Amino acid sequence: MTTIQWFPGHMAKARRQVTEKLTLVDIVFELVDARIPLSSRNPILDELIGEKPRIVILNKSDLADAALVQKWVAYFNKQGISAVPIVAQEGIGMKKVMSEAKRLLKPKFDRMAAQGRKPRAIRAMSIGIPNVGKSTLINRFVKKNIAKTGNRPGVTKAQQWLRLNKELDLLDTPGILWPKFEDPETGKKLALTGAIKDTILQLDDIALYGIERFQKNYPENLAARYNLSAAELALTPPELLMLISERRGFREDYSRAAEMIIYEIRNGKVGRYTLDTVPSTPLSETGEK
């Protein structure tokens, strides 16, 4: 796969706006995809956020490898970063996000109270790459659809302040992706999970990548979904794509088969999975923070 370039104008504008508005918020909610907790972290966010309190929110945790979700939470916590797994679509984990935000901000709000300032709602900024569920998170907090949602990147196009409840005001921001992916593997992970628009990629390549990863790490899931024998699991990814295409009635329409496989992987039909490996080194040494 060639190096992916994807930096629309609204993302460049969003980066400037984030920097300008950061002084207005108490805390940052950094949403990542629990299936790719590092690959879905935008490297420029650490630079933008600085020392501002933050919570890394691992969304879509119901689609990720359950054991690895807990290892990722422990990994972030070890780096001094609060991490909370959630399922925004179902509203799971939302109370934990709020309780963690209150815990992190207690010293600041205690100082405000000591100065005689009136209590107010927590002001948070929601930030992350496209399609990690920012708008869904907002709608679950407020319990109604006030933010546009969609299972595709780039739905949110402008910043907006939202009064979610008496405890939380949230500044929603468009997804910010970095200008290019130096590591092709990162691009493939983002593509497979849906962070990159399908129209700029070869679906066959992404499907083959997905097949390869499942063959290596979750062969039992692949076998169960597509009724594969042990011998068939040992086929090359292109051979498996052809076999699945035939069994699903697509004959030699491999593009349709590839699209189907990608859809099923993204939506958990092939089982829970995590593509990122928990590093043995701190974030500062992985280049993330």
User: pLDDT, tens digit, for every residue of 125-175?
Assistant: 888 887 888 878 888 877 655 554 444 444 444 567 888 778 999 887 766
* Three-class secondary structure of residue 125 per DSSP: strand
Distance (Å, whole) CA 3 – CA 1: 7
Q: What is the pLDDT of residue 192?
A: 95
Q: Would you give the DSSP letter of residue 199?
A: G
Strand partners for 160? 172
**pTM of the prediction?**
0.86
| Residue count (the chain) | 289
| Domains in the chain, CATH or no CATH each | 13-180 (3.40.50.300), 202-266 (no CATH)
Q: Kindly tell me the number of DSSP H helices and DSSP E strands found in the chain.
A: 12, 6
- Helix or strand run (H / E) with residue 84: strand 82-85
What's the token pair of residue 76? Answer: 């972030």
Distance (Å, whole) CA 45 – CA 219: 35
- Whether residue 5 is predicted with pLDDT greater than 90 in this model: the reply is no
User: pLDDT, tens digit, for every residue of 10-62?
Assistant: 556 667 777 888 889 999 999 999 999 999 988 778 888 888 999 999 999 99
